[in-house]
Amino acid sequence: MDTSHSRTARAPKDREATKRRLIAAVGRVLARQGFRAVGVNTVAREAGVDKVLIYRYFDGLPGLVAAFSREGDFWPDLAELTGGDEPAFLALPFAERVVVAARNYLRGIRSRPLTQEILAWRFIEHNELTEALDTARAEGGEGILELVARGEVIPPVDLRVFYAVLGAALNHLAVRERREPTFAGLSLDDPASWDRLDAMIGRIIRGVLGQD
């Protein structure tokens, strides 16, 4: 009996399944032990596969970490950031687009405990793996920034600096929620506190962009 055809048909499925196992293993190791623990042997053992497959499928560990960031539901995607209705999003004024994207980003990170844990580790680590993660994050970030600005007259504000400050605040709040029950007198386990933060973030964005 000729089994060559069945082996050929099965191979792509096996490859994709193995890639998914490796990507998932990266997330578990990162969340449990941080970036210093992420190595070829550790990830391969976590995934239950031969470490040579990391090089075969991802050209090494940095490529695997980057794939995790892009494919592992690590960051909210454009659909999530825009609320699932891109035409309605683009019908909003510029400042409101930023408000919606910022609100959905914060909610998206808060709904991803693994992302919160890895961001916490990221604050204290810097190596080729964090660089791979940051590169993938930046690529996704540029996508939403381009969409926010599409067809709009941009106000005379240093947007790059503004987005940096805004992103830092959002990430810090999301990570802080996983670490401490209160911050600056706000109970982070109280939905009312997040409603207040959400409202203030909106006011700040509108004020800076001149549409308050």
Question: What CATH number should be reported for the domain holding residue 14?
Answer: 1.10.10.60
Write the secondary structure of 62-101 as one string of H (helix), E (strand) and C (coil): HHHHHHHHHHCCCCCCHHHHCCCCHHHHHCCCHHHHHHHH
- Do 99 and 146 lie in one domain? The reply is yes
pLDDT at position 70 is 77
Last residue of a domain, one of 71, 106, 127: 71
Domain residue limits at 49 = 4-71
Q: Give every CB contact of residue 115 below 8 A, 6+ residues apart in sequence.
A: 74, 75, 109, 174
- Do 129 and 150 lie in one domain? The reply is yes
- Tokens 């499925």 — which residue? 13
- Do 136 and 63 lie in one domain? The reply is no
- Do 58 and 122 lie in one domain? The reply is no
- Do 193 and 162 lie in one domain? The reply is yes
Nearest by Cα to 80 from 96, 110, 101: 101
Mean pLDDT of the chain: 85
- Do 22 and 96 lie in one domain? The reply is no
Range of lowest pLDDT (5-19, 20-34, 54-68, 78-92): 5-19
- Do 104 and 44 lie in one domain? The reply is no
Provide the token pair at 16. Answer: 């994709």
Q: Which residue has the higher pLDDT, 89 or 11?
A: 89
- Do 34 and 134 lie in one domain? The reply is no
- Do 50 and 149 lie in one domain? The reply is no
Range of lowest pLDDT (52-56, 88-92, 147-151): 147-151
- What is the total count of domains within the chain? 2
What's the average model confidence in pLDDT over 20-25? Answer: 92
DSSP per residue over the chain, as a string?
Answer: ---HHHHHHHHHHHHHHHHHHHHHHHHHHHHHH-GGG--HHHHHHHHTS-THHHHHHHSSHHHHHHHHHHHSS-S--HHHHTTT-HHHHHTS-HHHHHHHHHHHHHHHHHT-HHHHHHHHHHTT--SHHHHHHHHHHHHHHHHHHHHHHTT-PPPSS-HHHHHHHHHHHHHHHHHHHHH-SEETTEETT-HHHHHHHHHHHHHHHHHHTT--
- Do 58 and 83 lie in one domain? The reply is no
Last residue of a domain, one of 71, 99, 115: 71
Q: Which residue has the higher pLDDT, 113 or 122?
A: 113
- Do 43 and 132 lie in one domain? The reply is no
- Do 85 and 42 lie in one domain? The reply is no
| Residue 87 pLDDT grade (very low, low, confident, very high; cuts 50, 70, 90) | very high
Last residue of a domain, one of 53, 71, 89: 71
Q: Give every CB contact of residue 127 below 8 A, 6+ residues apart in sequence.
A: 35
